[in-house]
Amino acid sequence: MKIDKKHLLNYSILLPYLVLSVLGLIIVYSTTSATLIQYGGSPFRSVLNQGIFWIVSLLAIWFIYRLKLNFLKNSRVLTAAMLIEVVLLLIARFFTQEVNGAHGWIVIGPISFQPAEYLKIIMVWFLAFTFARKQKLIETYDYQALTRRRWFPRNWSDLRDWRLYSLLMIALVAAQPDLGNAAIIVLTVIIMYSVSGVAYKWFSTILTLIVGLSSLFLGTIAVVGVKNMAKIPVFGYVAKRFSAYFNPFKDLTDSGHQLANSYYAMSNGGWFGMGLGNSIEKRGYLPEAHTDFVFSIVIEELGLIGAIMILALVFFLILRIMNVGLKARDPFNSMIALGVGGMILMQVFVNIGGISGLIPSTGVTFPFLSQGGNSLLVLSVAIGFVLNIDANEKRESILEEAEEQYQSQINSAAET
């Protein structure tokens, strides 16, 4: 029995993705056109670049959806992707120019990409592959199943030890420094760990440890002072962000300028906003209005009501993705979907937390809405993974039902 995958497409995931992507193109134009005109450029330059990435993203979704899942479960393919990612992160850190106090962008002619963005989906893929292979051990030995291997693999061609690779990747991203993506990866790893089947006591212990260390870290900064902490290597880049986190209005011309203007933008928006394209803060007052702080401009132009509707659509997409993971019977499929949903959720949390002052600003883009072709492409690849997994789960279910009906008919015929 042959079932065409095009009839199994999950439109409750695809349609919200398409709506958010188109809305993102509109917001990219709104947040960049005025500045481009001011500097004598074409107002459509940024949105055209984003549109090209979106077309590539749609092709990526189509290609991934057509793949057989055995390709994603191939250890050689995964290992190759991981090794390439390590090389790219090293190149980004040590052989690229510093931009805004950090390394991370690799520029090849007119094309630039950020390896840390692609690491997020690779980590979900890698941990799902690793934990799915250990499900029987986890059922029997619980936490011991994930610690039976030594900290260092027996040979460097075997990079399947999840602790070694996770720590290595997080360290490389944090050293750039890109604390925003590092935080998302850490939180995603925790989610993947928690859905792997390990008893809740281990997850709660790790979460308590992270919260405790974070509180100790922030308390140390508050006591020692940001200026003294800035003398520590690598930390100098993020010192101003912590200064703004504690009191953005203390230094409006420097460290607190961005967060304070984010507050002004959200205040200007009120309930119903100033109207699409009518933002004041995007006209040179709020830096990174088209990337890190794009949601502040969304609130200013569309108001709190419009922002809530967008957030509701994002959360609907996340819930539909996680629903695929909850219903999946294959452990690999389940963890991929739950990991993707968790990854998007953590990116929303880190971005909204940064623009609202709930957590220090980390320079993370808002999913689908911020300008950033790499971010859009990574999210699209993740959506492609989930759509493929959902279609395969549906096909397996249909085949099993057909087999059961066929056996039932045979048994009935035998009885008569």
Average pLDDT over residues 329-356: 92
Q: Give the distance, in angstroms, between the CA of residue 190 and the centroid of all CA atoms in the same chain.
A: 14
Q: Is the confidence at residue 363, as pLDDT, over 80?
A: no
Mean pLDDT for the chain overall: 81
Contact 302, 277 (CB under 8 A): no
Name the token pair of 184.
């998302």
Tell me which residue of 258, 267, 303 sits closest to 285, measured CA to CA: 258
Least confidently predicted of 33-42, 194-203, 233-242, 375-384: 233-242
Question: CA separation (Å) from 304 to 221, 286, 308?
Answer: 33, 19, 6
| 113 and 261 inside one domain | no
Q: What's the structural domain count of the chain?
A: 2
Name the token pair of 291.
């990337």
Least confidently predicted of 64-68, 90-94, 154-158, 412-416: 154-158
Least confidently predicted of 30-44, 248-262, 376-390: 248-262
Average pLDDT over residues 125-148: 72
| 269 and 307 inside one domain | yes
Please return the burial class of 164, using the count of CB atoms within 10 Å of its CB with bins 0-12, 13-18 and 19+: middle
Where a domain ends, among 224, 248, 270? 224
Give residue-wise pLDDT tens across range 72-131: 888 888 888 888 988 888 888 887 777 666 677 787 777 777 888 899 999 999 999 888
Least confidently predicted of 76-85, 111-120, 148-157, 387-396: 148-157
Percent of the chain with pLDDT over 90: 29
Average pLDDT over residues 53-77: 90
pLDDT at 154: 44
Assess if residue 206 is contained within a domain. Answer: yes
Assess if residue 236 is contained within a domain. Answer: no
Percent of the chain with pLDDT over 70: 81
Dihedral over Cα of 405, 407, 410, 416: its sign: negative
Q: Give the whole-angstrom CA distance, residue 361 versus residue 239.
A: 11
| 43 and 73 inside one domain | no
Assess if residue 239 is contained within a domain. Answer: no
Q: Give the whole-angstrom CA distance, residue 147 versus residue 137.
A: 11
Contact 367, 311 (CB under 8 A): no
Q: What is the pTM of this model?
A: 0.86
Where a domain ends, among 207, 224, 241? 224
Name the token pair of 123.
């980590």
pLDDT at 157: 38
Assess if residue 149 is contained within a domain. Answer: yes
CA atoms within 13 A on the CB side of 229: 18
Q: Give the whole-angstrom CA distance, residue 169 versus residue 184.
A: 12
Assess if residue 58 is contained within a domain. Answer: no
| 23 and 72 inside one domain | no
Average pLDDT over residues 170-185: 83
Least confidently predicted of 42-46, 85-89, 121-125, 132-136: 132-136
Place of tokens 């902490």: 229
| 315 and 375 inside one domain | yes
Q: Is the confidence at residue 276, as pLDDT, over 90?
A: no
| 167 and 280 inside one domain | no
268 CB-near residues (< 8 Å, 6+ apart): 274, 279, 280, 281, 300
Assess if residue 409 is contained within a domain. Answer: no
Tell me which residue of 136, 67, 24 sits closest to 386, measured CA to CA: 67
pLDDT at 380: 95
| 72 and 44 inside one domain | no
Q: Is the confidence at residue 23, as pLDDT, over 60?
A: yes
Q: Is the confidence at residue 361, as pLDDT, over 90?
A: no
3-state helix, strand, coil in the chain (%, to 5): 70, 0, 25
Q: Taking every pair of C-alpha atoms in the chain, what is the biggest distance, in angstroms?
A: 88
| Helix or strand (DSSP H, E) at 134 | none
Q: Is the confidence at residue 332, as pLDDT, over 60?
A: yes
Find residue 106's DSSP bridge partners. Answer: 113
Residue type, 413: A
Query: CA-based angle 295:300:305, to the nearest 5?
Result: 85
Average pLDDT over residues 369-398: 91
Q: Which domain holds residue 338?
A: 1-51+256-404
| 72 and 218 inside one domain | yes
Assess if residue 350 is contained within a domain. Answer: yes
Q: What backbone torsions phi and psi does residue 370 show, to the nearest 5 degrees?
A: -75, 150
| 261 and 220 inside one domain | no
Q: Strands of 223-371 (E only): list them.
A: none
Q: What backbone torsions phi and psi does residue 306 show, to the nearest 5 degrees?
A: -65, -40
| 150 and 177 inside one domain | yes
Where a domain ends, among 182, 209, 224? 224
Assess if residue 295 is contained within a domain. Answer: yes
CA dihedral 91, 92, 96, 102 (to 10 degrees): -150
Give residue-wise pLDDT tens across range 209-247: 777 777 776 677 667 666 665 555 555 556 666 666 667
Q: Strands of 105-215 (E only): list them.
A: 106-108, 111-113
| 320 and 353 inside one domain | yes
| 125 and 95 inside one domain | yes
